[in-house]
């Protein structure tokens, strides 16, 4: 059993940012009345915070992706905690990078990352096994090819343990994650710079 599996509960508490509390709609009216919330200024901002229904940040072990190449390509990796992503870069290096580097490219620099959530519950999806596998591959080198051996294949390998898979496009990686999770997944946009 891996270190992460043995200590999953501890890591979940230490690494996952605090979650916002979901307030049932039936409880909103008394809160609105008490606060005398209007539709302008900071009161409406407070109302927006109170009405949050799901986590807004990825969980450790989540597949992450961002758009590159003027929005026509994607780059994926595995969230390993502490604002870091394990990725396969364009030179074939498997490395651990901060969000800034993960989302940077010569053609784009974005602050939006997408992460998977269970569509029914809204909970962020994680795979601790993916973290273990990513760290097993850390500092190794692969024969990178834009279409045949890329970041999506690496991310899928972290999920399944099969690094010679055929998931060379984001839609294939998403399909593998759907099969692994067994439920409908939605991809949530995350402006990571707001949380760092």
Counting residues of the chain whose pLDDT is more than 90, the rounded percentage is 58
Which residues, at least 6 apart from 101, have a Cβ–Cβ distance to it below 8 Å? none
**pLDDT value of position 8:** 57
Q: Nearest-CA neighbor of 196 among 122, 103, 105, 123?
A: 103
- Where exactly are the structural domains of the chain? 20-54, 63-194
**pLDDT value of position 49:** 46
**pLDDT value of position 99:** 94
pTM for the model stands at 0.72
pLDDT in tens, 79-118: 999 999 999 999 999 999 999 999 987 666 678 999 999 9
The answer to whether the CB of 170 falls within 8 A of the CB of 74 is: yes
The answer to whether the CB of 17 falls within 8 A of the CB of 195 is: yes
Between 7 and 103, the more confident residue is 103
d(CA 62, CA 47): 29
pLDDT in tens, 43-74: 555 544 444 444 689 999 999 999 987 778 89
d(CA 100, CA 103): 6
**pLDDT value of position 133:** 98
| Mean pLDDT within 189-195 | 86
Which residues, at least 6 apart from 185, have a Cβ–Cβ distance to it below 8 Å? 116, 117, 118, 119, 125, 174, 177, 178
Residue 125 has pLDDT above 80, yes or no: yes
Q: How far apart are the first and last CA of the chain?
A: 32
Between 138 and 70, the more confident residue is 138
**pLDDT value of position 105:** 75
The answer to whether the CB of 87 falls within 8 A of the CB of 77 is: yes
Task: Compute the chain's Rg from CA coordinates.
Answer: 19
Distances, alpha carbon 7 to alpha carbons 11, 12, 137, in Å? 6, 9, 21
**Where is 116: in which H helix or E strand?**
strand 112-118
Confidence of residue 7 (pLDDT cuts 50, 70, 90): low
**pLDDT value of position 1:** 59
């Amino acid at each position: 059993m891996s270190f992460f599996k043995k200590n999953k509960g501890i890591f979940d508490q230490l690494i996952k940012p605090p979650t916002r509390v979901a307030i049932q709609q039936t409880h909103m009216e008394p809160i609105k009345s008490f606060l005398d919330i209007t539709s302008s200024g900071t009161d409406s901002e407070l109302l927006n915070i109170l009405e949050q229904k799901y986590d807004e940040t990825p969980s450790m072990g989540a597949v992450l992706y961002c758009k590159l190449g003027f929005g026509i390509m994607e780059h994926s990796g595995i969230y390993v905690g502490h604002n870091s992503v394990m990725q396969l870069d364009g030179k074939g290096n498997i490395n651990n990078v901060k969000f800034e580097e993960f989302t940077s490219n010569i053609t784009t620099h974005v602050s939006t990352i997408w992460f998977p959530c269970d569509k029914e519950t809204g909970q962020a999806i994680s795979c601790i096994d993916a973290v273990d596998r990513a760290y097993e591959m850390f500092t190794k080198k692969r024969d990178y090819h834009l279409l045949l051996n890329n970041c999506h294949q690496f991310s899928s390998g972290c999920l399944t343990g099969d690094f010679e898979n055929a998931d060379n496009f984001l839609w294939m990686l998403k399909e593998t994650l759907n099969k692994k999770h067994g439920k409908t997944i939605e991809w949530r946009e995350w402006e990571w710079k707001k949380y760092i």
